[in-house]
Amino acid sequence: MIPVPDPPHVSAGPRVAIDENRLEELITEAQTALPFELPDLANRCAAALGLGTALIYLVDLQQQLLVPLDEALEPLPVDRSPAGWAYRTVTPRVVDAGNDMIAWMPLIDGAERLGVLAVRTAALDGVRMRRSRMLAHLFAMLITSKRAYSDWLAARARITPMRLPAEMLRAFLPSHTIGSRRCVSTAVLEPAYEIAGDAFDHSVVKDVLHTMIIDSMGHDVSAGLTTSVAMAAARNARRGGCGLADIVGSVDQALAQWLPDHFCTGVLCRLDAATGVLRWVNCGHPPPLLIRAERVLEGAMDSPPQPPIGLAGQLAPATRHVHETTLEPGDCVLLYTDGVVEARDDDGAEFGLARFTDFIIRSSAAGQRPAEVLRLLIHAILDYQRNQLRDDATILLFEWRPQYQ
């Protein structure tokens, strides 16, 4: 197995002719192709580029398996395969397959890892590597555009049936990872197929990153409905240009009107990625953690307690207090629900905040990308509790990195 550097470091090799007319026909066809037709389309595009065959693998909901779109093939493990190495590191990997070579190319939509593309070809040089990368970019865009309306693609990413509350919440969730040149935000949540009251949201508007984490009371459809209404109300206010306090006020009003006996805790943040100014509101939730220079700054984002969201009448606060600080380049902010630190092993010992933050710091220091850090962490929490979480566990991590602009 050979990790492959960027094209300038790969031998250019002889030029390979491209049937440009055929390639144009295939790209035009891709616009109207149904999702189940993508495997065949990938092969025909690979042939038009002078390559061999191409196979598409999408990561499952728990990021444990890479599931082929070709239903005749078996999934590949993320943690123990060349395909998984390409997915985890977001770096191409080349494998000698006897008479052929296989280039495992990561499929990426912006900052979101979708899966991998396996390109099999008789020879691999700089030209073919560049075309393999182009093919991966094309199919990442196709998958992203088509999965919004394809139950087939959604079903291929599942390995077990999903409960109704989880189905309802997942309809509201954004991509796990988003980002720009100046910031990145990534999140995970478990149990993937039974989640009920937890949710996250993040969005980039010009140079502003908005993040939110919510934990509704209960573990049934009503909890999922509470969270769904809260997320919709927050997005509606945010897209209308409201500030943080008004966004929370909108959620308060929505829950009080439509679900008067339900409430949730949550944290909403707004990061100006141009200046590093971070503003946040904490509504009865565990305080966010600020990680700087590989250590947690104790109490940096603690704040006086505020009531949960959705309380009506005299219990509802008149105003929400917005807190503010300025981040330093490389700072990470961590939002989480209590199910993360309260996970218990067979002896009843909690996973705990110290173990939680230490895992993130060590993984980040080892060079893992934020999305991979959280993938490893949520699996460690599941292993700690033998895959039987007693409460929903959601983690959102965002990083300010203006040095990359």
* DSSP per position, 367-383: T--HHHHHHHHHHHHHH
The arithmetic mean of pLDDT across residues 359-381, rounded, is 92
Give tens-digit pLDDT for 323-344: 999 999 999 999 999 888 888 8
Give tens-digit pLDDT for 106-153: 999 989 999 999 999 998 889 999 999 999 999 999 999 998 888 999
Predicted pLDDT of residue 18:
67
Q: Which class for 196: exposed (0-12), middle (13-18), buried (19 or more C-beta within 10 A)?
A: buried
Give tens-digit pLDDT for 43-69: 999 998 889 999 999 999 999 999 999
Distance CA 285, CA 300 (A): 15
Model confidence at 346, pLDDT cuts 50, 70, 90, reads confident
Half-sphere exposure of 332 (CA within 13 A, CB side): 24
Give tens-digit pLDDT for 186-223: 999 998 898 878 999 999 998 999 999 999 987 778 88
Q: Which residue has the higher pLDDT, 392 or 16?
A: 392
Task: Work out the mean pLDDT of the chain and round it to a whole number.
Answer: 89
Predicted pLDDT of residue 203:
96
The arithmetic mean of pLDDT across residues 11-24, rounded, is 62
Provide the whole-model pTM.
Answer: 0.90
Model confidence at 261, pLDDT cuts 50, 70, 90, reads confident
**DSSP alpha helices (H): ranges in 213-258?**
221-239, 244-258
Q: Which residue has the higher pLDDT, 233 or 15?
A: 233
Model confidence at 314, pLDDT cuts 50, 70, 90, reads low
Length of the chain: 405
Predicted pLDDT of residue 394:
94
- Whether residue 28 has pLDDT greater than 90: no
Are 130 and 98 in contact by the 8 Å Cβ rule? The answer is no
Give tens-digit pLDDT for 82-112: 999 999 999 999 999 888 999 999 999 989 9
Q: Which residue has the higher pLDDT, 11 or 385?
A: 385
User: Look-up: residue for tokens 């509606």?
Assistant: 236
User: Look-up: residue for tokens 């599931």?
Assistant: 67
Predicted pLDDT of residue 243:
94
Question: What angle do helix axes 20-30 and 126-147 make, rounded to 10 degrees?
Answer: 20
Predicted pLDDT of residue 316:
72
Give the H or E element holding residue 87. Answer: helix 82-89
Hey, what amino acid is at 361?
Answer: I
